[in-house]
Structure 1
Amino acid sequence: MRALVSNLALFAALAALAAGPAGAEQDMLLGADMASPAMTRAEVSRADIEAMIAGAAGRPIDLSNKALSGLDLSGLDLRGANLRTARLNRASLRGTDLSGANLEQSWFLKADLSGAKLVGARMFGITAREANLSGADLSRSVPIGDFRGAIMSGAILADLKGGADIKNQSMGLMRTVFVSVNLSGANLRGADLGRARLDFADLRGADLTGAVLMGADLSGADLTGATVAGAEFRNADVGGARLLGLKGEDRALGWAERVNAERAIARRAD
């Protein structure tokens, strides 16, 4: 039964990620019973997982498809762990090392990952709405999933791979969903967010140096004081976005090719 619930939820999640803006948020949780034990409870304890780590003698452990919601897994060494399709809703992973972990199609609704290490983690199809990732290190990760309403203030997202793969016709519309995400002060240097959804995101003071934002939805986003030198804005929708006090604006790429630039909130020349 757990596998059936997971598969139904996964199908809905992937369909939503590939959907247009109108359906991406509405359908993400369709087909999943969020009140079921599979989504709200844990089938093992922290002590069980600590025993698995000890017994693995440094090898990555396998927690794929496990119900781990609500567990305190803070500070554990889960480098390279297989957490594919696992449910960790409202779990605490503060300071946990998940570098190189497989988090594909996993669930982290309202989970606490503040200060966690997710360097190079694979997050294709992840659902992490309203998760706390403040100060987390997601550099070189692949967060193709739903992070709507998450907190990523001060997080490191340098060189992450969150852009849509337009060369793959079957998966070309899969994208990172950072709708209404708090990315204030985040390090997004060199991040690939091509065609990503960043509408209404808080990017105040963020470092977007060299980031790829081509075709991204930045409508309603707040980029006040952000650094944009070398960032690619071609075809990015900035309608209603706050573009005040930008640093390196004169070195941004594709700046003249933004969409809805006349509707952005920018400082006008006297």
Structure 2
Amino acid sequence: MRALTLLAALAALAAGPAAAEQDMLLGADMASPAMTRAEMSRADVEALIARGGPVDLSGKSLSGLDLSGLDLRGTNLRTARLNKALLRGTDLSGANLEQSWFLKADLSGAKLAGARMFGIMARDANFSGADLSRAVPIGDFRGANLSGANLAGLKGGADLKNQSMGLMRTVFVSVNLTGANLRGADLGRARLDYADLRGADLSDAVLLGADLSGANLTGATVSGAEFKNADVGGAQLVDLKGEDKARDWTARVNADRAITRASR
């Protein structure tokens, strides 16, 4: 039931209405032990790793646990709760993080290449310097820190052929993406409103129909990026690199409301 509630709430949030955004965490008792405490110790997790073979931590309560530096490649963490957990430098490459909870978790420098993140709740989490290349982050990262992160080839675009629960897409609202590598990332119809993309590399990224309203792209590289129907109302498009090579640059939405000159 918890997983279904999270997915339904995520679909409502991704659809866009402000009222839906306030319902994102409804249905979950954030003060419950399942959301705030760990039912296992680090030693317990290390013992599972030592046994060899795929580690299954699906549905486990691991909130607040220090799992920094562990090798959790390919681990099944589906629907697990890791709120405020420490995973600094942890290797989660190829892990199943679908419908998991990472509220205010610290994943700085973590390896998440190819990780599956459909329905993930990672508000205010720290992914600074992390590797999310080729990951599939269809979830809520509102307020997260992804500064300096590697998101090259990330698959965060909405799949319009599979929308039985509404428009499921990556939610990067108010996310810190300064200096992030987003080369070739698919962020079609993703929410990037008020995101900080200063100095980010968006070369060849797909921003088709993305919401960039209020975002700060000062100094970002946009060569080859697809901007068709991207909403740039109120966005800061100052000192862009490769603007002349951006695709469908003239097909942006609310381009007349974008900020193209630095204030003096």
Query: Normalised by the shorter chain, which TM-score bucket?
Result: over 0.9
Is 1:53 aligned with 2:49?
Answer: yes
User: 2:229 maps to which residue?
Assistant: 235
User: Which residue number in structure 2 is paired with residue 135 of structure 1?
Assistant: 129
Q: Which residue of 1 aligns with 2:95?
A: 101
**Relative to 1, partners in 2 of residues 1:23 and 1:253: Cα closer, same or farther, differing over 3 Å?**
farther
Q: Which residue of structure 2 aligns with residue 264 of structure 1?
A: 258
The CA distance in 2 between the partners of 1:76 and 1:65, in whole Å, is 19
Matched, 1:27 2:18: no
Q: Which amino acid is the alignment partner of residue 197 of structure 1?
A: R
Q: 1:170 to 1:8 in 2, by over 3 A?
A: closer
Taking a change above 3 Å as real, the CA distance of residues 178 and 47 of structure 1, as seen in their structure-2 partners, is same
- Give 1:238-249 correspondences, 5 Å limit: 238-249=232-243
| TM-score under structure 2 length normalisation | 0.96
| Partner AA of 1:30 in structure 2 | L
Whether 2:194 is the aligned partner of 1:200: answer yes
The letter for the 1-side match of 2:15 is: A
Q: 1:254 to 1:171 in 2, by over 3 A?
A: farther
Residue identity over aligned pairs, in percent, reads: 82
Tell me if the contact between 2:14 and 2:191 (Cα under 8 Å) persists in the aligned partners.
Answer: no
Whether the aligned pair in 2 keeps the contact of 1:70 and 1:90 (CA below 8 Å) is: yes
Match of 1:68 among 50, 57, 62: 62
The answer as to 2:36 corresponding to 1:40 is yes
Q: Could you tell me whether the CA contact under 8 Å between 1:166 and 1:172 is conserved in 2?
A: no
**Structure 1 residue 174 and structure 2 residue 168: aligned?**
yes
> C-alpha displacement at 1:19, in angstroms?
2.6
CA distance 1:166–1:61, change in 2 (3 Å):
same
Question: CA shift at 1:82, angstroms?
Answer: 0.2
Q: Distance in 1 between matches of 2:82 and 2:112?
A: 15
Whichever residue aligns with residue 39 of structure 2, its letter is E
Deviation at 1:28, TM superposition (A): 1.3
> Which residue identity lines up with residue 167 of structure 1 in the other structure?
K
The residue identity in structure 1 corresponding to 2:136 is V
Letter of the 2:43 counterpart: A
Q: Using the TM superposition, give the Cα deviation of residue 166 of structure 1 relative to its aligned residue in structure 2, in angstroms.
A: 1.3
| Structure 1 Cα separation of the partners of residues 235 and 219 of structure 2 | 13
**In structure 2, distance between residues paired with 1:35 and 1:114:** 25
**Amino acid paired to 1:125:** G
Letter in 2 for 1:46: R
Q: 1:174 deviation in Å?
A: 0.6
Secondary structure of the equivalent of 1:16?
Answer: helix
Q: How far is the alpha carbon of 1:25 from its aligned partner?
A: 2.4
* Contact 2:105/2:125 (8 A) holds in 1: yes
Contact 1:194/1:214 (<8 A) preserved? yes
Give unmatched runs, 5+ long, in structure 1: none
Alignment of 1:250 onto 2:248: no
In the alignment, structure 1 residue 119 sits paired with structure 2 residue 113: yes
CA distance in 2 between partners of 1:210 and 1:172 (Å): 27
Distance 2:152 2:178 in 1: 14
Q: Which runs of 4+ in 1 moved over 6 A?
A: none
Letter in 2 for 1:240: G
Give 3-state SS (helix, strand or coil) of 1:206's partner. Answer: coil
In structure 1, C-alpha distance between the alignment counterparts of 2:166 and 2:54, rounded to whole Å: 31
Aligned residues: 262
**Cα gap change, 1:169 to 1:128, in 2 (>3 Å):** closer
Describe the shift of the 1:158–1:172 C-alpha distance in structure 2 as closer, same or farther (beyond 3 A): farther
Question: 5+ residue gaps in structure 2?
Answer: none
Q: Distance in 1 between matches of 2:27 and 2:7?
A: 8
Q: Deviations over 1:117-150 (max 9, x none)?
A: 0000000000000000000000000000000000
TM-score normalised by length of structure 1 = 0.94
* Residue 9 of structure 2 corresponds to residue 13 of structure 1: yes
> Which moves more between the two structures, 26-35 or 131-140?
26-35
Alpha-carbon separation, structure 2, partners of 1:124 and 1:54: 28
2:139 is aligned to 145
Q: C-alpha root-mean-square deviation of aligned residues, in Å? A: 1.4
